[in-house]
Amino acid sequence: MIARRPALHLAIAGQGPDEERLRKIAADLGVANRVHLIGDMPPQKVGLFLAGLNAFVFPSTAETFGLAAVEAAQAGVPVVANDLPVLREVLTVDGEPCALFADASNVDDFAAKIDMVFRDHRQTAQMVALGRKLAGRYSVDGMVEA
């Protein structure tokens, strides 16, 4: 997707064994200057990182909670996440999803949902508004009341 949209940048936070492979793929696609491998990030910088995003893409195939996706939604960043039951549960507010869900094993489905974030401004604004409501649900007080 980044190769087809010259204005897009990809920022990946965290570390893992695939860093060199990702750098090679970016170079092979001619987008290395728009792929930013951030590495580990101290918790106090997560908010600043999220504030700079236009979308948060979360293709994780196994999650127990999905904290990163919840943090992004709370920060007002549109989220596209793998369609896992736990992510549907934690990224739903008042019965409405505050994220777009896609099949992470289907690249075309995931790309279409990411593209939708940039095309359907009304739906994206609705998701963002719902996502901000997660802050109350997952606050200390909200968790105690639950």
CB atoms within 10 A of CB 118: 14
The answer to whether residue 142 scores a pLDDT higher than 90 is no
CA–CA separation, 37 vs 19, rounded Å?
A: 8
The answer to whether residue 111 scores a pLDDT higher than 80 is yes
CA dist 56 → 65, 97, 141, 146 (Å): 16, 15, 26, 27
The answer to whether residue 136 scores a pLDDT higher than 80 is no
Return the SS3 of 113: helix
Q: Find out whether 71 and 90 touch, Cβ atoms under 8 Å.
A: no
The answer to whether residue 107 scores a pLDDT higher than 90 is yes
Domains plus CATH for the chain? 1-40 (no CATH), 43-135 (3.40.50.2000)
The residues that bridge with 35 in the sheet, in sequence order, are 10
The answer to whether residue 47 scores a pLDDT higher than 80 is yes
The structure's pTM equals: 0.89
